[in-house]
Amino acid sequence: MNTYELMLIINPQISDTEISGAIEAAKRILADRKAEVIADDKLGRKKFAHAVKKNRDGFYVYLKVKAEPETIKDLKRSFGLQENILRSMFIKAGAEQVLKA
């Protein structure tokens, strides 16, 4: 299993309870595909540099996930089909590298 960082941007037009529901739905999708959520953080509403699906801001959620590499493509597709998720992005978490001056 590899460790991934997942950033979700949720539609800001919905209520706070619906945002919580969207986060729980995302966690269910991950659990259904045998991905383990290690950490989560609600980063709050942030403004976009340009409009995304006619929205000028979004609610950001960070999740750290352990999953098999084969499931990531399926997860990307599943999050793309979610109505309240504007964007999702997976990044493989690698070993920290020391920068030499």
Q: Where are the alpha helices (DSSP H) in 33-68?
A: none
* Radius of gyration, CA atoms only, the chain: 14
Q: Where are the domains of the chain?
A: 2-92
Q: What is the pLDDT of residues 60-90, one digit of tens each?
A: 999 999 999 889 989 999 998 988 999 999 9
Residue burial 32-59, b: 16+ Cβ < 10 Å; e: rest: ebebeeeeeeeeeeeeeeeeeeeeeebb
Per-residue pLDDT for 59 more than 90? yes
Burial of 3 (C-beta count, 10 Å sphere; 0-12/13-18/19+): middle
Task: Please name every residue paired with 84 in a beta bridge, in sequence order, or none if there are none.
Answer: none
Q: What is the pLDDT of residues 11-47, one digit of tens each?
A: 999 999 999 999 999 999 999 999 999 999 999 999 9
CATH superfamily, domain 2-92, is Ribosomal protein S6/Translation elongation factor EF1B (3.30.70.60)
